Structure 1
Amino acid sequence: MQPSQLLPNASLYVGPEREPPLSRTGFIFLAIIMALFTIPAIILNATVIIVSLMHKQLRQPLNYALVNMAVADLGTAMTGGVLSVVNNAQGYFSLGRTGCVMEGFAVSLCGITSLCTVALIAVERMFVVCKPLGQITFQKKHAVGGIVLSWLWSLTWNVPPLLGWGRYELEGVGTSCAPDWHSKDPSNVSYILAYFAVCFAVPFALILASYAKLMWTLHQVSRMTCVEGGAVAKGEMKVASMVVLMVLTFLVSWLPYASLALLVVYNPDVKIHPLVGTVPVYLAKSSTVYNPIIYIYLNNQVHELDSGKLT
């Protein structure tokens, strides 16, 4: 018996004749795809962290948040990414019940922290560009406080499945684990609904509100005029564009996953092929490689370091 079938919902990932959801070739293909995202994600996020630690010039509020995102994304890649590659290469989840819970918790913790950090970045950019509180600025202490809050918020809502409210189970083709969207148990359903409300809806609302204000301000100062007492420099507009792009790629990565999960929660009897359920899972995990690419190629301070302008 394969270890994955020892898990409570393992029957969701085998057919009526106990056949696996994919052929051996299919699992190998998924392992390769995941490796193509995981390896660059580990290298790029580690690079962002190392470069930021080496150069004091990069220790600005925005960069604090970007480093925190790199740490969270690196954690996702090192746990969910690496384990997905290994398990797909084997064709089943090989770590048993305890391993499933540990992976589900680690990936969810890092993923929600990353999402909360996107919200933090949105707020930071809005304060810098729009100056909604006049001369009150977004300082390092605010960035550090936001980083601590992002981890505590994520921890608060990912611990309950370890204590009995909700649970971590297999997802997709049965080679990775996440909060259980399939269970009809009222306690589990209540956890999933609360989880999405506070871990997705709240950060998304904060992101959308901040960037609605930011984009309106940038539209009004397209000719580089002053707004609300603050001059918007060309460099600030470029950084704003960077984080807008970061937010859009994050939403494209995570919205399909969130939408599919909610569909299953609200309609438990819906029939979704495991392979179809795997696509949003992999899109979500692939987000770990986008952020450092955006950071490296659109961050002026990184280019200046590379060209030796900053000393």
Structure 2
Amino acid sequence: MNNTCNCSAPAESEWEVIMKKYHIRPLSDEGYVGTGIYLVVIGVIATVGNLMVLTMFCREKQLRRKPHNLLLLNLAIADIGISVFGYPLTTASNFAKRYLFGTTGCMIQGFATFTLAQTDMNTLACLSAYRYISVCKPQYIYKLDIKFTKWVIAFMWIYSFIWTAPPLFGWSSYTFEPFGTSCSIDWTNRSTAAVVYTWCLVVFCYLIHVFIMIFCYTSVCTRAKEIQNSLDISTSKTMSGEDITCCKKLEVEKHVTWICLLMTGTFTILWSPYTFVCLWSVYDANLPVWITTWPTMFAKASCMINPIIYYLSNPLFRKCAGRLLSCQFRHREIVRPRYRYRVNKLSSGGMVNREINQVETHFL
């Protein structure tokens, strides 16, 4: 009798094949659960917050008449897109401790989230340019109308596709992150073409944007300080009607500029570690898994930051958010918040305090 055993080794699962092929280094069970809970929290905040922003723009036509606000609307749309294409897939995969949607799903997720994140960066750079023109080159403000801004928004999306589509056609590729439950560019690919693509992304999709934002906001702050100093000199004498109007405009511009600067600064801070680690991965494919995981999770928090900034800095947004959350929101005109400050005017009878009320018409 032939007692030879014909048993064969059990077939590998699809996930085991993917782990070997893409050199995935899984997290511990606690690590996956922890990142899953973290993504649930930021995903809920980002989704609810940005939906409130979109609801405000849908209900209030007056907000959409401001070119500056159209850029904020575009920012919210991109953030909502990341909430739809990024958070659910990665969160579910973290709780499952493996990517659930296969290599095709990974490619789609990587392309979608990268395009939306790049559009975020483009929009923030444009916001800084709009602030620069408004404060430093006010003679050109008339060019920043609704029609021009729509063309700017279209260009931003096209620019994003120009740099995120090449991996779909063979110039680098979209693949699994080292921890296996999220997808992005294959940063560890050391072929000459892939390295060139990575450096192009760093230069044309990050460094140029950061340089534009630094230049614009530095110029804006410098110009605002110069205007403030000249107004202080005028205040010590007699303040004309033109000076009072300038004070009003300066107060509004400072308010909007500081919020835009805060949005830009937080986005850059959240994405800079990820950019650095991705560039590092090009030259060292064996980075510890925690070094590749933390910057990725840090960057994913960027979508929830803007609604938080709006809520903390804008009475209009707080009022609308309260109505939405209490199911009392009505389609009606919302009174814009007033910014009040005092101007000391030297008159024949002495120093007189004059209150100036400025009605804010920007969303910010």
Q: TM-score, normalised by structure 1?
A: 0.89
- The one-letter amino acid paired with 1:309 is V
Q: Evaluate the alpha carbon distance shift between residue 34 and residue 224 of structure 1 in structure 2; reply closer, same or farther with a 3 A threshold.
A: farther
2:172 counterpart SS class: coil
Q: Give the Cα–Cα distance (whole angstroms) in 1 for the partners of residues 251 and 20 of structure 2.
A: 53
- The one-letter amino acid paired with 1:80 is G
Q: Give the Cα–Cα distance (whole angstroms) in 1 for the partners of residues 93 and 319 of structure 2.
A: 41
- The one-letter amino acid paired with 1:24 is D
Cα drift, residue 178 of structure 1: 0.3
1:22 counterpart SS class: coil
- What are the superposed Cα offsets for residues 19-39 of structure 1, whole Å, 9 maximum, x if unpaired? xx3222221111001111111
- The one-letter amino acid paired with 1:93 is Y
Is 1:280 aligned to 2:311, yes or no?
Answer: no
Structure 1 counterpart of 2:263, from 238, 246, 256:
246
Cα drift, residue 233 of structure 1: 2.4
Q: Evaluate the alpha carbon distance shift between residue 296 and residue 139 of structure 1 in structure 2; reply closer, same or farther with a 3 A threshold.
A: farther
Q: Matched residues, percent identical?
A: 28
CA RMSD of aligned residues (A): 2.5
Q: Give the Cα–Cα distance (whole angstroms) in 1 for the partners of residues 22 and 165 of structure 2.
A: 26
Which structure would you say has the larger RCO, counting Cα contacts within 8 Å and 6 or more residues apart? 1
1:49, 1:67 within 8 Å by CA — same for their partners in 2? yes
Q: Give the Cα–Cα distance (whole angstroms) in 1 for the partners of residues 254 and 117 of structure 2.
A: 27
Is 1:291 aligned to 2:303, yes or no?
Answer: no
User: Equivalences for 1:199-278 in 2 at 5 Å?
Assistant: 199-223=205-229, 225=231, 231=246, 232-265=249-282, 267-269=283-285, 271-278=286-293
2:133, 2:141 within 8 Å by CA — same for their partners in 1? no
Q: Give the Cα–Cα distance (whole angstroms) in 2 for the partners of residues 9 and 262 of structure 1.
A: 23
Partner of 2:185: 179
1:65, 1:117 within 8 Å by CA — same for their partners in 2? yes
- What are the superposed Cα offsets for residues 175-206 of structure 1, whole Å, 9 maximum, x if unpaired? 00001100111121111111222111222222
1:256, 1:280 within 8 Å by CA — same for their partners in 2? yes
Q: Give the Cα–Cα distance (whole angstroms) in 2 for the partners of residues 183 and 33 of structure 1.
A: 29
Q: Unaligned stretches of 5+ in structure 2?
A: 1-11, 233-242, 324-332, 337-360
Q: Give the Cα–Cα distance (whole angstroms) in 2 for the partners of residues 188 and 65 of structure 1.
A: 32
Partner of 1:195: 201
User: Equivalences for 1:136-155 in 2 at 5 Å?
Assistant: 136-155=142-161
**Larger Rg over CA atoms:** 2
- What are the superposed Cα offsets for residues 146-177 of structure 1, whole Å, 9 maximum, x if unpaired? 21111110011111111111100111411000
More displaced stretch, 102-111 vs 297-306: 297-306
Q: Give the Cα–Cα distance (whole angstroms) in 2 for the partners of residues 105 and 134 of structure 1.
A: 36
Structure 2 counterpart of 1:309, from 335, 344, 355:
335
2:175 counterpart SS class: strand
Query: How many residues matched?
Result: 301
Is 1:12 aligned to 2:23, yes or no?
Answer: yes
Q: Give the Cα–Cα distance (whole angstroms) in 1 for the partners of residues 319 and 41 of structure 2.
A: 29
- What are the superposed Cα offsets for residues 46-102 of structure 1, whole Å, 9 maximum, x if unpaired? 110111111012121121101100110111121111111111000011211101100
- The one-letter amino acid paired with 2:33 is I
Partner of 1:17: none
1:222 counterpart SS class: helix
Partner of 1:77: 83
Q: Evaluate the alpha carbon distance shift between residue 225 and residue 5 of structure 1 in structure 2; reply closer, same or farther with a 3 A threshold.
A: farther
Q: TM-score, normalised by structure 2?
A: 0.76
